[in-house]
Structure 1
Amino acid sequence: MSWSGMRNKLEKEYLAGALRGHIRYYATSYSKSPDHEGRAAILLDGKEIIAGCYYNNWLKAELFPRDERYERRMKEEMAFIDDTAVQLGIFDQQSFYEAFSIFDNQSIEESLASENMLVRIFAILDRRVGKRRLEKIRREIDGGEKTFREFFAIRAAAEGMAAEAERER
């Protein structure tokens, strides 16, 4: 599937109605780069919330020790993206495409439970996650990964749940 097809599905088919026009997905390949590598980002009202670039990937060798998880990352060509990788931008457009493929080919429940942070981000912004499920996630989210909590807060605010929580206090 082409990037424009992926973006169309993410922004029009999957994205929650309250976020349409606010969330944009971005991925590009640099044609003058030897391997046509590039970057990817998720934007909220034109501001990048997360962004990753292939040229940041040199950090992964220094940040991630050569343990079982590191070997799995290398074997899966960065299909496994965790909170550290997202916060440091140690992912690229290929990781973004892979995460979309995983997300697009499994249930929303599996996506919400995925080890891949990008897949979980796509899922929390998905229209199939309703207010009841968001409430359940809110009760379980304390102490979770920072990036996922940020995207949960964006979704909750868009659904008016932040205001509801304030009224209940």
Structure 2
Amino acid sequence: MPTWSSIRKKLESDYLCPSLQGHIQYFATSYSKSADHEGRAAIRLDGVEVLRSNYYDYYQNYWKRYQQLRSSVSENENPKIPFQLAYEGALNDGCFDNWFFYEAFHIFDNQSIEKSIVHNNPLVRIFALLDRRLGKRRLLALAETMEQELEWVRTFYIIRLKAEGLMPPEEMTPQD
């Protein structure tokens, strides 16, 4: 597995679109004194964390969902279904741990921009939205699909539109 500094360099220098260079920063850390060296990850815009999550928030969200789903599964169903649905639900809420961030980067780094923009992993889609290989015409063509996108992914779509001058800065804020 590559080091965090090499991942960050690729994301911020090699992949990031020119209009966002110097504005978007990626952050991930693991805490050596915590159990299993768990940590947190974030994406910052001009120093403000737009997206952030950590292991403990993720695990709490995941476990709560799993407990609810486990009780609704019948004996005839696959017992792994509640695990998968809880994982997907936590991720859709924007909860993930730093290892998931690394995994998303690995997927993104090893496939085309076409596959990344439609990938089932929302972090991979965010990396693709901020990627220099995604041109302005293609970015605008995504408008219709962004209506069905997760709110926290749409936020990065709006950030990119504003950075490219395709949306007036005062028209919509990332929190909308």
TM-score normalised to the size of structure 2? Answer: 0.82
Q: Which has the larger radius of gyration?
A: 2
Q: Secondary structure of 1:115's partner?
A: coil
1: CA distance between counterparts of 2:24 and 2:83?
Answer: 33
Select the residue among 106, 118, 123 that pairs with 1:118. 123
State the match for 2:61 in structure 1.
59
Aligned counterparts, 1:1-169, within 5 A: 1-56=2-57, 57-64=59-66, 65-66=69-70, 70-72=82-84, 82-84=91-93, 86=94, 90-163=95-168
Cα deviations by residue, 1:112-161 (Å, 9 ceiling, x for unpaired):
11111110000000000000101100133223221111110000000000
2: CA distance between counterparts of 1:31 and 1:52?
Answer: 17
Percent identity between matched residues is 48
2: CA distance between counterparts of 1:72 and 1:110?
Answer: 22
**C-alpha distance 50-130 of structure 1, shift in aligned 2 (>3 A):** same
Q: CA RMSD in A?
A: 2.3
Shift in Å, 1:55: 1.2
Deviating beyond 2 angstroms after TM superposition, the runs of 4 or more aligned structure 1 residues are: 63-74, 78-83
Cα deviations by residue, 1:100-123 (Å, 9 ceiling, x for unpaired):
000001111111111111100000
| Structure 2, unpaired ranges of 5+ | 74-79, 172-176
2: CA distance between counterparts of 1:3 and 1:33?
Answer: 18
1: CA distance between counterparts of 2:153 and 2:38?
Answer: 26
Contact 2:62 2:89 (C-alpha < 8 Å) held by counterparts:
no
